[in-house]
Amino acid sequence: MKKLIFAFAGFMALHAQANSVWVEQNKLVGEIGGWKVYAKEQPPAMVPSNQNIFSLNQAVERMLSHQLDSVNYLPGSESMTDYYVLSPAQRSALQQRYAIIYETSKSYYELVAQREKLAHMEDVLNAVEAASELTDRMYKVGNVNELKLLNQKKDLYKKRLEYKALETKHLEAKERFIQRLNFVNRDVNVDVEPRLPEPPKDLRRLTDKEKRSINLGAISNPGSVHIRSLARISYENYTEKFNKAKSYKEDILPTQKKISEENLLRYNGMLIDVFHLLEDAEKQSKTVIEYIDANLALLIQAAKLEKDLIDAQMDFSNINVR
């Protein structure tokens, strides 16, 4: 009986000590702002008043007005049933139009994605900095060992390097965008959308006309084989990227949200400590960054698909008029 009493007393002492550490950790995290990392709500992205939001449509229109052969481009020709009625110069102008749209869309989406990722990477860095400062304070009072402190410092150093690398990529994307749109000094402060558009709900299906144009049939011309093969590959790539982005949006992100909610419940029940919450904050942001990458790949591939399909349809019309 005495053994049971002593065992229970020992358990209660350990539990009280654990609660004390939990409370102390919670207090320290509050002091250093760690809860801002875990619990903050994402505010709507603000754009400085001296800047203008420059939409993708505006970027495309600007590039078409600067680069498209407007003399030979026939408005609405992309919806024609038979391209062979177009003159060679009009066909070339139509293909040029889709190439311009693709290159401009690619440059625009890359800049938006880098900007969006940088914001989430800042959340990751804030979480790691909070955990590092907490570890340092706990080490000074003897609650963690030196190995824990060193590992946390190493993680912080690496995350700072990752953040700087992402800053550089954002700057590179911005410079490419400026170059592509041929901005002058007064236009450099024009800014893009803060977030990428949501992926489409439904997969883009090929029309009967597009299916015929990418089907090889009895064609043996090497150039035609190559063009149509590229279009088929482009559609397969688009389908794969659509499914990946859709899975992130409908499966992976909601699952990560549920994991975070469970971790918060476990923390409130004193089953896990603050470090687990800060690690979870880092995982949340990393998962969002992965989703941004998947969405970016889909948006760029969708623009490329339109260009590849128009090339195949043009070739199909050329073959059938011979």
| Rounded mean pLDDT, 16-25 | 49
Around Cβ 163, how many Cβ atoms within 10 Å? 16
Report the alpha-carbon distance of residue 309 to residue 90 in Å, rounded.
17
Instruction: Kindly report which listed range (42-56, 214-228, 305-319) carries the lowest average pLDDT score.
Output: 42-56
- Cα dist. 67→173, 212, 265 in Å? 21, 31, 57
CATH topology of domain 2-41+51-321: Outer membrane efflux proteins (OEP) (1.20.1600)
Token reading at 200: 């489409």
Question: For 193, which DSSP code?
Answer: -
pLDDT category, 169, cuts 50, 70, 90? very high
Q: 289 CB contacts (<8 Å, ≥6 apart)?
A: 117, 120, 121, 124
Question: 53 pairs with which residues across the strands?
Answer: 191
Question: 191 pairs with which residues across the strands?
Answer: 53
**What is the model's pLDDT at position 27?**
56
**pTM, entire model:** 0.81
Report the alpha-carbon distance of residue 145 to residue 27 in Å, rounded.
20
| Rounded mean pLDDT, 126-141 | 87
| Rounded mean pLDDT, 111-118 | 95
Start-end of H helices in the chain: 2-32, 34-39, 56-67, 88-140, 146-180, 208-214, 222-247, 253-268, 274-321
Report the alpha-carbon distance of residue 49 to residue 191 in Å, rounded.
11
Higher pLDDT, 203 or 72: 203
**What is the model's pLDDT at position 218?**
66
Q: 277 CB contacts (<8 Å, ≥6 apart)?
A: 38, 263, 264, 267
pLDDT category, 314, cuts 50, 70, 90? confident
**What is the model's pLDDT at position 188?**
61
**What is the model's pLDDT at position 52?**
72
Question: For 194, which DSSP code?
Answer: S
**Closest Cα to residue 99, out of 64, 75, 56, 65?**
64
Q: What is the pLDDT of residues 172-185, one digit of tens each?
A: 999 999 888 888 76
Question: For 216, which DSSP code?
Answer: -
Token reading at 161: 């390097």
**What is the model's pLDDT at position 32?**
43
Largest CA distance in the chain: 103
**What is the model's pLDDT at position 9?**
36
* Residue-wise DSSP of 72-89: T--TTGGG-S-GGGS-HH
Residue 17 has pLDDT above 50, yes or no: no
**What is the model's pLDDT at position 176?**
92
**Closest Cα to residue 115, out of 179, 36, 200, 191?**
191
**Chain Cα centroid distance, residue 10:** 51
Residue 41 has pLDDT above 60, yes or no: no
Report the alpha-carbon distance of residue 231 to residue 306 in Å, rounded.
9
Around Cβ 193, how many Cβ atoms within 10 Å? 18
191 three-class SS: strand
Q: What is the pLDDT of residues 256-296, one digit of tens each?
A: 999 988 988 887 777 777 778 778 888 888 899 999 999 99
